Amino acid sequence: MKILIINGPNINMLGIREPNVYGGQSYQELLRLLKDWAAELDIEAEHFQSNHEGAIVDEIQAAYGCVDGIIINPAAYTHTSIAILDALKAVSIPAVEVHISDVSSREEFRQISYPGQACFHTIMGQGLEGYHQAMIVLKNHLSKQ
Ligand code: DQA
């Protein structure tokens, strides 16, 4: 089982950006955790992070026929990107949306998720552990297919 984990803009600044919201662990620490969780669940996981919307669209398109599932934290593009929504719909790869913070209890402009509309599940407010939960949910979903 092969999955692609996509992180959007400013996720590479974890540990530096608003630690009161996103915690004190760095993006490198997140990558290490993802590696451990992938090994624990016997999943092959690839990682991609970009600050550019089109690069994320390109990555989703390139995943067509290559991966079984996607975990995506579109970060700020969550609230603006119909292009990422359309890319997820175009490839029809089962996807789980993750947010480190609890976006539902934050500003009004964060209350809409466009890419989330192409995801079968959303996890939010669990910190980095949310990616672990997303892997479990995705693995269970793919195992049933
Ligand atoms: C985020 C929430 C978004 O609203 C924000 O723009 C981010 C990170 C999260 O993981 O909590 O950059 O996706």
Bridge partners (DSSP) of residue 45 are 3
Give me the helices (H) in the chain, please.
19-22, 27-41, 53-62, 82-91, 129-144
pTM of the full structure: 0.98
Residue spans of the chain under pLDDT 70: none
**Cβ of 12 less than 6 Å from ligand 1:** no
CA–CA distances in Å: residue 24 to residues 20, 29, 30? 8, 10, 11
Distance CA 39, CA 82 (A): 33
Predicted pLDDT of residue 25: 98
pLDDT of 140 reads 98
Q: List Cβ neighbours of 82 (8 Å cut-off, separation of 6 or more).
A: 114
Cβ-contact 11, 27 below 8 angstroms: yes
Tell me which residue has tokens 């890419």: 115
Which ligand 1 atom lies nearest to the CA of residue 11?
12
73 lines ligand 1 (CB under 6 A): yes
The alpha carbon of 22 and the centre of ligand 1 are apart by a number of angstroms equal to 8
Known catalytic residue at 99 = yes
Residue nearest atom 6 in ligand 1 by C-alpha distance:
76
Own/partner contacts of 27-36, CB < 8 Å, gap of 24 or more, are 29/128, 30/128, 30/131, 33/128, 33/131, 33/132, 34/5, 34/131
Handedness of CA 68, 65, 60, 67 (dihedral sign): positive
Catalytic-labelled residue, pool 27, 77, 99, 132: 99
Determine the distance separating the centroid of ligand 1 and the alpha carbon of 110, expressed in angstroms: 8
